[in-house]
């Protein structure tokens, strides 16, 4: 037995085995996954009208702090979050094998098909189509789902600027920023390009994803490995012009979810390339994030908000990072594997406590995420992508036990 297996065995024991009579088992993944399943059924009931009919184009997006029912958004080209709810349903189907949940997952996935048939509006196609159709195909192998992913990957690739070497995130904002803009969130969209290149799509999609990851690694981070939210490049020369924020506290601050996207993104890039430069970098961006977390491992929305400790937390960032670390821990040396997996478990323990779970109060899984604080939007709210990465992380943890 090597160190990694010994550690995995010890962790499984500490998580699942009965403890002494005074101390209950610390964390039972199935309890949390069953909680998610129950909340999903509550949400589905809430989405039914008086005749029991669901409008599958209206998708849960958030529950503001002051409310207790989902605010839904219509599936349109500029709504970036509508892949998460079908993704949650696919994960729930994976866990429960419940065919009625599969049916709902199919129905909420279908309205996103148009994204594979229309010109790319912006970079969010990966979030939208890989969380929904990606999980749908992974679990069903339905060739129609595969076609949607492949066509959408081609569409996303049209935003790649070879002069710069990255994907343009927001075509609508080129004039405002004075150049080709790439946001850190865009790292998540690369997974669909890698997948497509290996599953019947154009091999150039792989090169685009690698180029994006390399250029981002070079310019999108400060010396200490904390990230800008937005990097702006000269559209013609490809030169890096400046870094700034959009959703963070300041241009120079570490916006929690931006850093979370970087951790998750570079973990995926290493998985797909096995290029050690990306593994080293994934660890670097992770280590600076972990070194600055508060005691419960759920970050403040921005690590540099001067109002900390009175600033809101961002549970969504913790969910993204917990999920990423459960993967990253499988690629690194034994001591780092232990550190990353312990950190992920600690994040999930906190998120699964009454401080963060919505429980009876709301049908979401979690409270306390922040969407866009500078715009005054989704502050201290339940947000659908927090729930998506939470259930993903729980399933990943379950698979390691
Ligand atoms: N712009 C995507 C996010 O809020 O993380």
Per annotation, catalytic residue among 185, 302, 305, 314: 185
String of DSSP letters for 251-286: TTS-BHHHHHHHHHHHHHHHHHH--HHHHHHHHHHH
Place 156 in a pLDDT band, splitting at 50, 70 and 90. very high
Q: Is 216's pLDDT higher than 50?
A: yes
Express each pLDDT in 341-354 by its tens digit: 999 999 999 999 99
Our answer on whether the CB atom of 369 is closer than 6 Å to any ligand 1 atom is no
Q: Is 5's pLDDT higher than 60?
A: no
String of DSSP letters for 93-129: HHHH--HHHHHHHHHHHGGGGGGGTS---STTHHHHH
Q: Which of 17-21, 81-85, 234-238 has the lowest mean pLDDT?
A: 17-21
Atom of ligand 1 nearest to the CA of 257: 5
Euclidean distance between the first and final Cα of the chain, in Å? 16
CA distance 22 to 107: 47
Question: Ligand 1 pocket test: which of 127, 170, 185, 315 has the largest number of ligand atoms within 8 Å of its C-beta?
Answer: 185
**Is residue 60 within a helix (H) or strand (E), and if so which, with residue range?**
strand 58-63
Q: Under DSSP, is residue 72 helix (H, G, I), strand (E, B) or coil?
A: strand
pLDDT of residue 27: 87
Our answer on whether the CB atom of 247 is closer than 6 Å to any ligand 1 atom is yes
Q: Is 2 exposed, middle or buried (0-12, 13-18, 19+ CB in 10 A)?
A: exposed
Please tell me which residue, 198 or 22, carries the higher pLDDT value: 198
Q: Under DSSP, is residue 248 helix (H, G, I), strand (E, B) or coil?
A: coil
Tokens standing for residue 95: 């866990």
Would you tell me how many other CB atoms lie within 10 Å of the CB of residue 361? 12
Q: Is 256's pLDDT higher than 50?
A: yes
Q: Is 326's pLDDT higher than 70?
A: yes
**What's the mean pLDDT in 230-240?**
98
Strands 230-233 and 240-244: antiparallel
Question: Ligand 1 pocket test: which of 124, 257, 316, 388 has the largest number of ligand atoms within 8 Å of its C-beta?
Answer: 257
Place 23 in a pLDDT band, splitting at 50, 70 and 90. low
Say if residues 181 and 230 touch (Cβ distance below 8 Å): yes
Q: Is 16's pLDDT higher than 50?
A: no
Residue 61 — φ and ψ, nearest 5°? Answer: -120, -50
Q: Is 31's pLDDT higher than 60?
A: yes
**What's the mean pLDDT in 169-176?**
97
CA distance 245 to 303: 13
**What's the mean pLDDT in 102-115?**
98
Our answer on whether the CB atom of 189 is closer than 6 Å to any ligand 1 atom is no
How would you classify residue 70: left for phi > 0, otherwise alpha for psi between -120 and 50, otherwise beta? beta
Place 25 in a pLDDT band, splitting at 50, 70 and 90. low
Place 246 in a pLDDT band, splitting at 50, 70 and 90. very high
Q: Under DSSP, is residue 166 helix (H, G, I), strand (E, B) or coil?
A: strand
**What's the mean pLDDT in 179-201?**
98
Please tell me which residue, 150 or 10, carries the higher pLDDT value: 150
Our answer on whether the CB atom of 181 is closer than 6 Å to any ligand 1 atom is no
Q: Which domains does the chain have, with CATH numbers?
A: 26-400 (1.50.10.10)
String of DSSP letters for 226-247: -B-SEEEE-TTT--EEEEE-SS
Atom of ligand 1 nearest to the CA of 371: 4
Our answer on whether the CB atom of 257 is closer than 6 Å to any ligand 1 atom is yes
Q: Is 140's pLDDT higher than 50?
A: yes
Per annotation, catalytic residue among 68, 78, 124, 251: 124
**What's the mean pLDDT in 292-321?**
98
Would you tell me how many other CB atoms lie within 10 Å of the CB of residue 109? 26
For the chain, what percent of residues have pLDDT higher than 90? 93
pLDDT of residue 20: 46
Express each pLDDT in 390-401 by its tens digit: 999 999 999 998
Atom of ligand 1 nearest to the CA of 258: 5
CA distance 81 to 128: 7
Q: Is 310's pLDDT higher than 60?
A: yes
Average pLDDT, the chain: 94
Our answer on whether the CB atom of 327 is closer than 6 Å to any ligand 1 atom is no
Ligand 1 centroid – CA 13 distance (Å): 37
pLDDT of residue 155: 98
Atom 2 of ligand 1, nearest CA residue: 185
Question: Annotated catalytic, 185?
Answer: yes
Among residues 375, 364, 390, which one has the least CA distance to residue 71?
364
**What does pTM read for this prediction?**
0.94
């Amino acid at each position: 037995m090597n160190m990694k297996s010994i550690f995995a065995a010890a962790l499984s024991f500490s998580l699942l085995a009965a403890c002494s009579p005074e101390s209950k088992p610390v964390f039972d993944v199935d309890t949390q996954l069953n909680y998610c399943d129950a909340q999903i059924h509550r949400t589905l009931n809430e989405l039914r009208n008086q005749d029991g009919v669901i409008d599958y184009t209206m998708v849960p997006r958030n529950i503001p702090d002051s409310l207790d029912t989902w605010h839904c958004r219509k599936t349109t080209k500029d709504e970036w979050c509508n892949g998460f709810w079908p993704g949650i349903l696919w994960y729930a189907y994976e866990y429960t094998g419940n065919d009625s949940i599969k049916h709902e997952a199919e129905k909420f996935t279908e309205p996103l098909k148009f994204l594979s048939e229309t010109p790319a509006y912006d970079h969010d196609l990966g979030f939208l189509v890989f969380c929904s159709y990606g999980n749908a195909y992974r679990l069903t192998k339905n060739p129609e789902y595969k076609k949607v992913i492949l066509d959408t990957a081609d569409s996303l690739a049209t935003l790649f600027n070879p002069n710069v070497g990255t994907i343009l995130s927001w075509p609508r904002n080129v004039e405002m920023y004075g150049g080709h803009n790439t946001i850190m969130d865009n790292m998540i969209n690369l997974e669909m390009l890698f997948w497509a290149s290996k599953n019947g799509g154009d091999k150039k999609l792989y090169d685009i994803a690698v180029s994006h990851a390399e250029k981002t690694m070079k310019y999108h981070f400060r010396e200490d490995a904390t990230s800008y939210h937005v990097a702006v490049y000269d559209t013609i020369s490809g030169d890096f012009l400046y870094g700034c924020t959009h959703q963070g506290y300041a241009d120079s601050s570490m916006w929690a979810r931006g850093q979370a996207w970087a951790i998750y993104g570079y973990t995926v890039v290493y998985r797909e390339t096995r290029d050690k430069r990306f593994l080293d970098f994934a660890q670097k961006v992770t280590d600076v994030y972990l070194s600055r977390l508060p005691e419960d491992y759920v970050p403040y929305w921005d690590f540099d908000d001067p109002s900390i400790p009175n600033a809101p937390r961002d549970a969504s960032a913790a969910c993204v990072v917990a999920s990423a670390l459960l993967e990253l821990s499988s690629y690194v040396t034994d001591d780092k594997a232990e550190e990353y997996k312990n950190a992920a478990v600690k994040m999930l323990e906190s998120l699964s406590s009454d401080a963060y779970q919505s429980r009876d109060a709301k049908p979401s899984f979690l409270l306390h995420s922040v969407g866009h604080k500078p715009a005054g939007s989704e502050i201290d709210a339940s947000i659908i992508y927090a729930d998506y990465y939470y259930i993903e992380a729980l399933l990943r943890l379950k698979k390691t036990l």
